[in-house]
Amino acid sequence: MQSNIFLGLGSNLGEPEMNLRRALELIRSIADAEISETSSFIYTLPLTRDGSNPPKYCNCVARIRTGLEPAELLDRLQEIEDQMGRSRTTQKWQPRIIDIDILLWGDRIINTQRLTVPHSQMHLRSFVMEGMDEIAAHLRHPVTGDTMSVMYDRLNGGDYYFEKDRPKLIVFAGAIGVGKTTLAEGLSILFGTELIHEEYDKNPFLPLVYKGNNDVKLDSELFFLSSSASQLKKSCFRDNRVYVADFMFEKSPIYARHWLDPGDYDVFIKEYRALEKEAAEPSLVIFLEDTAENCLERIKIRGREYEKKIGKDFLVELEKSYEELFRQWNKCPVIRIDAGSYDFRLADEVRIIEEKIRYYLGIS
């Protein structure tokens, strides 16, 4: 019998928990199939785009063993759905008495007209990945090579869906000198798109700030804010295109909090809130992490005069502020990358990250 086959079950009609228990019993009754483990029941709001307020889903993940082939198991599972009264419709996000998906089939990759394994959306669903993390935290995804635990953490409790024809915005986060621009430049080439570059070289106040001129700190932060808002305005992005930015709009308060006194920060944050409404939300954040020492070495190598006074404590503070930002983050998945493990100047290493991003965003 084949093991490490995972099913995702969900219900939001009638008595959802009872529906899941019945479905599990019917799966146990399939010849040549047995359930070896199930996750806890997980309640979540349904994914919906029509403004309705359907009832919550109850979900779980089951690990099974079976002697059946994938298409045969799919037939049996659909028979169970029909037996339980599922109404099939082409409309997305409709309430369902039961939904049973094949998530993983060992390390097999299956792409047929009827079945895609690994499930094409499981890595974007916290209600799936929470169950996977509970019963198979160290199992690696056959496509990305990441553990279920790592993939679950990337979602921070969120559930996401990317419409194929909508613009996809990839943004970067991380301390100064961590390699954001180098990696973003490499990715923009592979995606065939022009890099949206943070305009720090155009900020006339920045060199003065690093020299200790307190009078222009607010001017500098407002320049960055205005520039970022203009570059990342929703109206700038077109359908069916991928965009790469070496910064993210939402990091603006991090730097403002460091540089500004409370009165100036209040002025800044008021302007930030006004512009935030028009900024495009990212589809994916790439958060680069590295030691302060490695970042300082890269800063030294690139030789910008105004960055010479950047110290270790400032970089550590930036890292902590990003961590604080992402503890509350719910706009999109966040992929953390250990920048010290890569050389972003090498195309082959950038391609590894590109493939992961393509999978997350469903880009062929």
Q: Which residues are catalytic?
A: 86, 96, 99, 101
Residue 198 CB partners (closer than 8 Å, separation 6+): 181, 224, 227, 228, 231, 245, 246, 247
Q: Is the Cβ–Cβ distance between 5 and 65 less than 8 Å?
A: yes
Beta-sheet strands, E only, within 174-252: 195-196, 242-245
Q: Is the Cβ–Cβ distance between 7 and 102 less than 8 Å?
A: yes
3-state secondary structure of 210: helix
CA angle 361, 160, 334 (to 5 degrees): 65
For the record, the structure tokens of 128 come out as 């799936």
Residue 144 CB partners (closer than 8 Å, separation 6+): 123, 151, 356, 359
Return the closest-CA partner of residue 337 out of 155, 192, 167, 146. 146
Name beta bridge partners: 337. Answer: 288
Q: Is the Cβ–Cβ distance between 117 and 110 less than 8 Å?
A: yes
Residue 285 CB partners (closer than 8 Å, separation 6+): 171, 172, 173, 248, 326, 329, 332, 333, 334, 335
CA angle 2, 43, 169 (to 5 degrees): 85
Name beta bridge partners: 104. Answer: 6
Look at the block and give the residue holding tokens 């194929």.
164
